[in-house]
Chain A
Amino acid sequence: MESFTFFLDVLTRGIGMGMAYALMGLGLTLIFGVMRIVNFAQGEFYMLGSYVIFTLITMARLPFFIAIPLGMAVMFLVGVLVEKLLLSPIAKGKVDNPMEYSLIITFALTILFQKIAVIVFGPYFQTINSYLPGNYKLGPVTLSGNLVVVMIFSVFMIGLTSAYLKYTWRGRGWRAISMSPPGASILGVSLRKESSMVFGLSSALAAGAGAILAPITLIFPTVGVSPLIKGYEILAIGGLGSVPGSLVGGILLGVGETLGSVYLNSAYRDFYGFGLLVLFLVFRPKGLFGQDS
């Protein structure tokens, strides 16, 4: 019985971490689905977002429920700006090979953003105090307050994003672009106008993930590297361009890693995610919810 309770504890932990990873996956899936490019700098939006929200909480002394939306809004603008300045040639159709172009530009951005973080915030480790201190009981399972916040926030953000995609005019437009850009443009939805919004939203989602995990995982200039990789693993597991895929993929990855670390060997933690990825690539290359291209 006790070992079963322990299993449930570990499982919930994995689900919680997976949900936060899913936010990263969701941002990437939006960018990939609508803009058809990859974004290497997503981890740096995670990192910058957590720094911005850290600053709002510690310096401006804002409560977290104001600081997080505000910080996400700031990072939305940063995302829009990056798209307008650097990636807009893609949407305008001026680039021969958008995939290569985006790889090169966003890879350079990761290095730039990391250096900026070192200069502005120093190479130190920072943290945000727990949003919800203490532990909570849910039936036999013990949850830390941090994990509760992570779960609620992630589900809320993913729900909000899916609702936006489903019910708003703009969200439907994005889905139209993801199905067929020329078709969408005939109907008056142009990638050119929408891509900066998509990039901004994706950046805001990464920032939210960064902020919500900060009390657990600290903030430092290279903190975004691992979430970025998780984000891409989720993309492959859940299926490129699929919103439910990113949630399910995130949870699968989080649970796989956590259970593997406990019941197998924690030295190979990153291997479990990788193994999952390979399994999917071999047996179901389009991912759980992916469509055949």
Chain B
Amino acid sequence: MRKVGRISVLVFSLIMALALVLSGCGGSKPAEKKDAPAGGGDKVVKIGVPTPMSAPGDYKSGEINLNTLKMGAEQINAAGGVNGSKIELVIGDDQGNTSKGVSLVQKMISEDKVCAILGPWHGSVALAQAKVADEKKVPIMLHYSWPDEITAMHSDYVFRTSPFNSEIADLLIPYLKSKNYKTIAVLAEDSSYGTGFGSAMKKAAEKEGMAATLVVFPSNAIDFTPQLMDLKRAKPQPELLIVASVYQPMYLIPKQAHEVGLSPKTQIMAGWDYPSWSPDFWKTVGEAGKGILYPAFESASMNLTPLGQKFKKDYKEKYKTDPPIYAYFLYDELMMVVEAVKKTGGTDPVKIAAALKDMEFEGTTGKVRFERKEGPVWNQWMGHQTFIMQLNNVGDMGDKAELIFPKK
């Protein structure tokens, strides 16, 4: 009988090992250790890049992050490097997992001795990584991680070029006012992004005298019809419903809102730009997605500086597709680190952070400089442009979206 106990352990380990093997080939490439070769054996400027490269992380965006940084590093190295040293990217896959992300950053700082960290992605992972970088006094820059808390910790080593939750809520207000909306609702998942953005949005709308309802749901939920039926019953029925979520609720909510008859009377707005590029959106939502709005930080009418135009052209040439907005932000960050290395004449992370703090950099979409005020505005760039876009036909992607606000 004891033998069978052992068999069950053996079968268990066999199945688990197989699962592990399979997860390794689940659509991602094995992690690359290093990118650019160490320049001729002499000094290099090492930059740590922890970013999602495999599921459950958002590996598609991770790949864009890597492409952007690789292209930037190649350009700089081809032009002779910085202070005669080559840029070397130390790349790691955080799989969208907080503990993996943290240990990656720890390793990059203590073993690889990177002088700066670029490319963190998922909000909760980035927040944890920022805490590590702050503790170890190495500058970390966030190009698309939205939680307010990241910059609200007021660290001298944490910089953010991307928008953040409460800023995005504020940026939406001019549009809501232009439509003269009186009643809005936000359906938000119970994550740092969902509740962070949801409560900021409610606060911002109420400040403008609108009635705002915030409904929070568990992020693994698959049936939203009770909440949606409740919104439909509300008097008055909300004119706009903003969906602040990632993964399945982004598709389920527009679909189920249509099913219970909440939309199209209530206009639906995605909390971010996923309908414009997600291959799953039209497949899963179909007719119900017609007319969905989304906020974007880019559009055809976006202002690009000469550097931005060059970046767009180079990126398109190399990767055969237009860069998304966060690639611009990330490229700016890399160039700012290079600038700081140049200025300080070395790779001391503390000095680099100090140089970044007061730098004014002519970036891809405008002048980038970090503001320090209160709350989340700490080493935070505030120069973002916001556009409200609409998808009018089933199957339309971002390139066919109509610019609703601001009108040209």
- A97 CA / B260 CA spacing, docked (Å): 48
In the bound complex, do residue B55 and residue A111 qualify as a contact, i.e. CB atoms below 8 Å apart?
A: no
In the bound complex, do residue B16 and residue A111 qualify as a contact, i.e. CB atoms below 8 Å apart?
A: yes
In the bound complex, do residue A127 and residue B259 qualify as a contact, i.e. CB atoms below 8 Å apart?
A: no
Which chain A residues numbered 226 to 281 have a C-beta less than 8 Å away from chain B? 226, 257-259, 261-262, 265-267, 269-270
Contact of A94 among B4, B190, B215, B233 (CB under 8 A): B4
A216 at the B interface (CB under 8 A): yes
Selected interface stretch from B75-83, B173-181, B279-287: B279-287
In the bound complex, do residue B218 and residue A270 qualify as a contact, i.e. CB atoms below 8 Å apart?
A: yes
In the bound complex, do residue B227 and residue A261 qualify as a contact, i.e. CB atoms below 8 Å apart?
A: yes
A146 at the B interface (CB under 8 A): yes
Given contacts A220-B248, A262-B230, contact A105 B8 (CB under 8 A): yes
B276 at the A interface (CB under 8 A): no
Task: Please give, as numbers and ranges, the residues of chain A lying within 8 Å of B222 by CB-CB distance.
Answer: 216-218, 223, 226
Given contacts A94-B4, A105-B15, A218-B252, contact A115 B22 (CB under 8 A): yes
- In the assembled complex, the CB of B18 is this many whole angstroms from the nearest CB of chain A, namely 6
In the bound complex, do residue B223 and residue A109 qualify as a contact, i.e. CB atoms below 8 Å apart?
A: no
Task: Please give, as numbers and ranges, the residues of chain A lying within 8 Å of B22 by CB-CB distance.
Answer: 112, 115-116, 118-119
Selected interface stretch from A6-14, A67-75, A179-187, A192-200: A6-14
Task: Please give, as numbers and ranges, the residues of chain B lying within 8 Å of A140 by CB-CB distance.
Answer: none
Task: Please give, as numbers and ranges, the residues of chain A lying within 8 Å of B259 by CB-CB distance.
Answer: 144, 146, 216
Interface size class of B (residues with CB under 8 A): 35 or more
Interface string of B1-39 (1 = CB under 8 A from A): 110110111011001101100110111000000000000
- What is the chain B residue whose CB lies nearest that of A221? B55
| Chain A interface helix/strand/loop/mixed | helix
- In the assembled complex, the CB of A125 is this many whole angstroms from the nearest CB of chain B, namely 4
Task: Please give, as numbers and ranges, the residues of chain B lying within 8 Å of A118 by CB-CB distance.
Answer: 22-23, 26-27, 55
Contact of A105 among B12, B216, B251 (CB under 8 A): B12
Task: Please give, as numbers and ranges, the residues of chain A lying within 8 Å of B215 by CB-CB distance.
Answer: 266-267
Contact of A225 among B1, B5, B220 (CB under 8 A): B220
- What is the chain A residue whose CB lies nearest that of B222? A217
Task: Please give, as numbers and ranges, the residues of chain A lying within 8 Å of B227 by CB-CB distance.
Answer: 261-262, 266
In the bound complex, do residue A111 and residue B19 qualify as a contact, i.e. CB atoms below 8 Å apart?
A: yes
- What is the chain A residue whose CB lies nearest that of B250? A125
In the bound complex, do residue A269 and residue B217 qualify as a contact, i.e. CB atoms below 8 Å apart?
A: yes
- What is the chain A residue whose CB lies nearest that of B214? A267
B225 at the A interface (CB under 8 A): yes
- What is the chain B residue whose CB lies nearest that of A271? B218
B40 at the A interface (CB under 8 A): no
- In the assembled complex, the CB of B395 is this many whole angstroms from the nearest CB of chain A, namely 15
**How many cross-chain pairs have Cβ atoms below 8 Å apart between A and B?**
138
Task: Please give, as numbers and ranges, the residues of chain B lying within 8 Å of A160 by CB-CB distance.
Answer: none
- In the assembled complex, the CB of A204 is this many whole angstroms from the nearest CB of chain B, namely 21
B261 at the A interface (CB under 8 A): yes
Task: Please give, as numbers and ranges, the residues of chain A lying within 8 Å of B223 by CB-CB distance.
Answer: 17, 216-217
Contact of B226 among A13, A127, A216 (CB under 8 A): A13
Contact of B25 among A2, A109, A119, A217 (CB under 8 A): A119
Interface string of B263-291 (1 = CB under 8 A from A): 00000000000000001100110100000
B95 at the A interface (CB under 8 A): no
A63 at the B interface (CB under 8 A): no
- A101 CA / B7 CA spacing, docked (Å): 10
Candidate in B227, B279, B286 with the most chain A CB atoms within 10 angstroms: B227
In the bound complex, do residue A269 and residue B218 qualify as a contact, i.e. CB atoms below 8 Å apart?
A: yes
- A262 CA / B226 CA spacing, docked (Å): 6
Which chain B residues numbered 194 to 224 have a C-beta less than 8 Å away from chain A? 215-218, 220-223
In the bound complex, do residue A115 and residue B23 qualify as a contact, i.e. CB atoms below 8 Å apart?
A: yes
In the bound complex, do residue A115 and residue B26 qualify as a contact, i.e. CB atoms below 8 Å apart?
A: yes
B166 at the A interface (CB under 8 A): no
- In the assembled complex, the CB of B159 is this many whole angstroms from the nearest CB of chain A, namely 31
In the bound complex, do residue A218 and residue B248 qualify as a contact, i.e. CB atoms below 8 Å apart?
A: yes
Contact of A267 among B4, B12, B217 (CB under 8 A): B217
Interface string of B179-192 (1 = CB under 8 A from A): 00000000000100
Given contacts A13-B229, A17-B223, A262-B226, contact A105 B280 (CB under 8 A): no
In the bound complex, do residue B7 and residue A267 qualify as a contact, i.e. CB atoms below 8 Å apart?
A: no
- In the assembled complex, the CB of A158 is this many whole angstroms from the nearest CB of chain B, namely 20
A123 at the B interface (CB under 8 A): yes
In the bound complex, do residue A125 and residue B4 qualify as a contact, i.e. CB atoms below 8 Å apart?
A: no
A126 at the B interface (CB under 8 A): yes
- In the assembled complex, the CB of B282 is this many whole angstroms from the nearest CB of chain A, namely 11
Contact of B218 among A108, A126, A218, A267 (CB under 8 A): A267
- A258 CA / B260 CA spacing, docked (Å): 14
- In the assembled complex, the CB of A254 is this many whole angstroms from the nearest CB of chain B, namely 9
- In the assembled complex, the CB of A117 is this many whole angstroms from the nearest CB of chain B, namely 10
A292 at the B interface (CB under 8 A): no
Which chain B residues numbered 75 to 128 have a C-beta less than 8 Å away from chain A? none
In the bound complex, do residue A266 and residue B248 qualify as a contact, i.e. CB atoms below 8 Å apart?
A: no
- What is the chain B residue whose CB lies nearest that of A270? B218
A159 at the B interface (CB under 8 A): no
- In the assembled complex, the CB of A126 is this many whole angstroms from the nearest CB of chain B, namely 7
**Can you list 6 A-B pairs with a CB-CB distance of less than 8 A?**
A125-B248, A135-B261, A218-B251, A266-B226, A267-B215, A269-B218
- Interface residue ranges, B against A (CB under 8 Å): 1-2, 4-5, 7-9, 11-12, 15-16, 18-19, 22-23, 25-27, 55-56, 190, 215-218, 220-223, 225-227, 229-230, 233, 248, 251-252, 255-256, 259-261, 279-280, 283-284, 286
Other A-B pairs, 14, CB within 8 Å; known A95-B4, A129-B286, A267-B215? A2-B233, A13-B225, A105-B11, A111-B19, A127-B284, A217-B252, A218-B252, A225-B220, A257-B226, A261-B230, A266-B226, A267-B218, A270-B218, A270-B221
The 8 closest A-B pairs by CB, nearest first: A267-B216, A108-B15, A217-B222, A261-B226, A115-B22, A125-B280, A111-B19, A127-B284
